[in-house]
Amino acid sequence: MTGKIFRYTFLMGLLVLLLSAVLFVGLQYSHTKEETSSVLKQEAEYAARGVMLSGEKYLDSLGSRDGVTWIDADGNVLYDSESGSDVANQSDYPEVSDAAKNGEGRSVRKSEIDGKDTMYYALKCSDGTVLRLSRPLSEVWSVLIRVSPVLWVAVLVLVLAGIFSLRAAKQITEPINEIEIDGVDRVKVYPELEPLVGRIREQNLTIGEQIDELTRRQKEFSVLTENMSEGFVLTDKSGIVLSANSGASRVLNGCDIGSSLPENEDRAVSETIKKTLRGERAETYLDQKDRCYHIIANPVVSNDKPAGAVVLVVDVTESVQREQLRREFSANVSHELKTPLTSISGFAELMMQDLVPPDKSREFAGDIYRESVRLISLINDIIELSQLDEQTVSPEKEDVDLYVIAEDVLDSLESEAKKKEVTLSLTGDRAIVRGIPNYVDEIVYNLCDNAVKYNRHGGSVTVNVEETEKSVVLSVKDTGIGIPDEYRERIFERFYRVDSARSNEIPGTGLGLSIVKHAAQLLGAHVSLKSEPDVGTEITVEFER
């Protein structure tokens, strides 16, 4: 900026100086030319008087530096100081013809003798002859040379103008260059810059407020996205990540801000994002480490053109698992219902067609009864489990004596235990829990029933009711077949049995532990499991006070 101001200032000074010099020289040249013409006229008048008195003798005595020519009325040269009288007729020359007509004449033209530009003045004498004086214009320029020192003064003025221009440029630009946007009040400026400094100060305040607002919104946005259960990614139209939370980075193998969205091992995910960057909405599913994610990508449109993409990563594992469980439950229910119904239908058909001997009728009737009981039990368990799932039945809680319920359950299982020679025992003391009697009874019964069913001959089942400071604990421990580690997480699933080969040998619906789990959740109790194959299993239910 300093150089530009200096150049403009210096060029302006130079232009003014040149114009002044041209004007001065022009005026001086015009003045000198007029002065020369006046001198020639005055000398011609003096010479004309002398010629009239003395003739050629006077002209010879002049010794003037000007050329003198005496011409008669017909244009013939009577005398010429440079060429004598042997000169061509002069009547056609403009200064001569003007003098013959008007008494005087002037012209500037090249001399025929030396070819130089020459000023001519002609005066008509009283006898009709014409006296002409001439002087080369080079003598006019010689006068200008005598004033050349003035030009040196002009050069000096030009140098001084350059120095002052540079100094002025620095004085103008240095305060501007020293202005700092963040410290504009610390710089001293000349009055002309005060409006600019004031506007910068106002802009700083406005920009500061805008930055604070953007920072606040950015923090709010970051807190919001980081606390989302879903993964979130925002990209520009080239796929460069503008914002991402930790959930998306974890699932999509890192999403560093300012870098391209990483290629995913699952081509469907990468293609989904690329499709969105082209302006189309897309979605897909990603299976990763026993988790299932729903990838939803929507384009960001600006002026009807794709400007980026918003990618949401939603964990749908539980939804998928619930759907899978629903399908398995439907399939298992169909299978479990079909088995007793098929038996009942077969027995009834045989009896209807009189294909059953009289002595076998009682046996067939007993089989039909047992399958009916099994079918009713299964339906009741399914209804109860459905009620627990949907929580359609929510009776008021009341005080329940857990020890008394355990005692009644063991009494009801006494006959089944004797068949397998399983010893039942109850330890602990009376303890009151806040719950729904029917659901508490279901928990205790199903735990004890399983402990008897899956026990070995001659084994034992120990039920303990213990009261602590914060809870009441029910534990059911058996000496049965135990549960391998790989199956422990699934035994609370509906219809799941560890040993499918023995499922037909051991009566039951496969819903007992699932009912225990859901009933405990409804009552706010916690269920835990300890088991060792061929040693036994202990299931503990902890009721909070």
Supply the DSSP symbol for 260: B
Return the top range by mean pLDDT from 7-16, 62-71, 280-289, 497-506. Answer: 280-289
CB 22 within 8 Å of CB 151: no
Mean pLDDT of the chain: 77
Counting residues of the chain whose pLDDT is more than 90, the rounded percentage is: 8
Counting residues of the chain whose pLDDT is more than 70, the rounded percentage is: 72
Find, among 410, 402, 386, 465, the residue nearest to 437 by Cα. 402
The residues facing 122 across adjacent strands are 105, 132
- State how far the Cα of 109 lies from the Cα of 119, in Å rounded to an integer: 7
Q: Which residues contact 89 (CB under 8 A, 6 or more apart)?
A: 74, 75, 76, 77
Higher pLDDT, 138 or 54: 54
Is pLDDT above 50 for 515?
yes
Q: What is the CATH number of domain 228-309?
A: 3.30.450.20
> pLDDT value at position 58?
78
> pLDDT value at position 470?
86
Is pLDDT above 80 for 307?
yes
Find, among 286, 287, 314, the residue nearest to 298 by Cα. 314
**CATH label, 394-544, candidates 1.10.580.10, 3.40.50.300, 3.30.565.10, 3.40.50.620:** 3.30.565.10
Find, among 100, 113, 50, 51, the residue nearest to 79 by Cα. 51
Average pLDDT estimate for 409-435: 90
DSSP reduced 3-state for 462: strand
Higher pLDDT, 456 or 365: 456
Is pLDDT above 80 for 466?
yes
Predicted confidence band of residue 494 (pLDDT cuts 50, 70, 90) = low
Is pLDDT above 90 for 477?
yes
Q: Which of 7-11, 178-182, 320-324 has the lowest mean pLDDT?
A: 178-182
Is pLDDT above 70 for 125?
yes
In SS3 terms, 434-452 reads as EECHHHHHHHHHHHHHHHH
Is pLDDT above 50 for 504?
no
- State how far the Cα of 65 lies from the Cα of 108, in Å rounded to an integer: 18
Is pLDDT above 50 for 13?
yes
pTM, rounded to two decimals: 0.42
- State how far the Cα of 223 lies from the Cα of 217, in Å rounded to an integer: 10
DSSP reduced 3-state for 128: coil
Q: Which amino acid is at 149?
A: P
Is pLDDT above 60 for 138?
yes
Same fold, 320-386 and 394-544: no
Q: Which of 195-209, 385-399, 401-415, 452-466 has the lowest mean pLDDT?
A: 385-399
| DSSP annotation string for 467-518 | E-SSEEEEEEEE-SS---GGGTTTTTSTT--S-GGGTTTS-S-S-HHHHHHH
Read off the tokens for 540. Answer: 């503990």
Query: Helices 512-523 & 437-453, crossing angle to 10 degrees?
Result: 150
Higher pLDDT, 49 or 323: 49
What are the Cα distances from residue 205, in Å, to 209, 214, 219?
Answer: 6, 14, 21
Q: Which residues contact 467 (CB under 8 A, 6 or more apart)?
A: 428, 429, 431, 473
Higher pLDDT, 467 or 330: 467
Q: Which of 17-31, 141-155, 232-246, 300-314 has the lowest mean pLDDT?
A: 141-155
Rounded to the nearest 10°, the torsion over CA 203, 206, 207, 213 is 180
Is pLDDT above 70 for 270?
yes
> pLDDT value at position 332?
61
Over the range 141-172, which residues count as b (16 or more CB within 10 Å of their CB) and which as e? Answer: eeeeeeeeeeeeeeeeebeebeeebbeebeeb
Read off the tokens for 534. Answer: 């061929």
- State how far the Cα of 261 lies from the Cα of 249, in Å rounded to an integer: 10
pLDDT tens digits, one per residue of 152-171: 666 777 777 777 777 776 66
Q: Which of 90-99, 377-386, 422-431 has the lowest mean pLDDT?
A: 377-386
Read off the tokens for 259. Answer: 């870098």
- State how far the Cα of 417 lies from the Cα of 460, in Å rounded to an integer: 9
Tell me which architecture the domain covering 2-145 has in CATH.
Answer: 2-Layer Sandwich (3.30)
Q: Which residues contact 189 (CB under 8 A, 6 or more apart)?
A: 175, 176, 179, 197
> pLDDT value at position 403?
93
Average pLDDT estimate for 222-251: 76
Predicted confidence band of residue 427 (pLDDT cuts 50, 70, 90) = very high
In SS3 terms, 230-247 reads as CEEEEEECCCEEEEECHH
> pLDDT value at position 193?
65
Higher pLDDT, 215 or 13: 215
Is pLDDT above 60 for 149?
yes
Read off the tokens for 125. Answer: 């004498």
Higher pLDDT, 89 or 65: 89
Q: Which of 24-28, 183-187, 455-459 has the lowest mean pLDDT?
A: 183-187
- State how far the Cα of 36 lies from the Cα of 59, in Å rounded to an integer: 20
Instruction: Please report where in the chains the tokens 């902890």 appear, as a residue.
Output: 542
Q: What is the CATH number of domain 320-386?
A: 1.10.287.130
| DSSP annotation string for 343-360 | HHHHHHHHHHTT-S-HHH
Q: Which of 220-229, 250-259, 325-334 has the lowest mean pLDDT?
A: 325-334
DSSP reduced 3-state for 108: strand
> pLDDT value at position 496?
61
DSSP reduced 3-state for 464: strand
**What φ, ψ does residue 306 adopt, rounded to 5°?**
-60, 125
Is pLDDT above 60 for 335?
no
Domain range list for the chain:
2-145, 190-225, 228-309, 320-386, 394-544
> pLDDT value at position 310?
85
Return the top range by mean pLDDT from 151-160, 467-476, 482-491, 512-521. Answer: 467-476
> pLDDT value at position 186?
62
- State how far the Cα of 19 lies from the Cα of 21, in Å rounded to an integer: 5
